[in-house]
Structure 1
Amino acid sequence: MSLQERQEAAVRAVLDAAPPPVVPPELGAEALRRGGRALRRRRIARRALLFLLGVAVVAFVVWATMARPWVEPPSKTTPPLTGW
């Protein structure tokens, strides 16, 4: 008999010897209520984050079209050529 088999046999003996714990009847309903609330909160948080991400993308696109950061600014070191 290996060590793992002996440990499994010991755990089975402990579980078989102890009576099953008494669980209150309202525990299942309470767990279902709390789980539903947690799911709703998670769903609301996910939607809020997606909304904020969308707003950030729209704001960036509007800024980029107005500021045009890809265009090189005009040079200010040379004076304009006049009087030629």
Structure 2
Amino acid sequence: MPALSMFYGIIIRMQGEKGRKHNKPHLHAVYNEHEIVMDFTGNILEGSFPTKQLKLLNAWIALHEDELNANWILLSSGDGYFKIEPLH
């Protein structure tokens, strides 16, 4: 699963899931031992994150929703992906 971005110890990953478990566009994020799966509007689908990191992740998602959707389409069609700017 490719890493799209990394910031403040948070690693954001995504894979296209055409015809798989989730058909809803989503990302996977890891922070230390915590893992979370979220859609691009900030809804938690699975897992949990510490409050501070969840706020950072939600801010990043809000800033990059269009890029996340573009990557979802690329990955779901097998056309690769591109990196997304980290939160500064």
Normalising TM by the smaller chain, what interval? under 0.3
Question: What TM-score do the two structures reach when normalised by structure 2?
Answer: 0.22
Question: What TM-score do the two structures reach when normalised by structure 1?
Answer: 0.23
Q: Which has the higher strand share?
A: 2
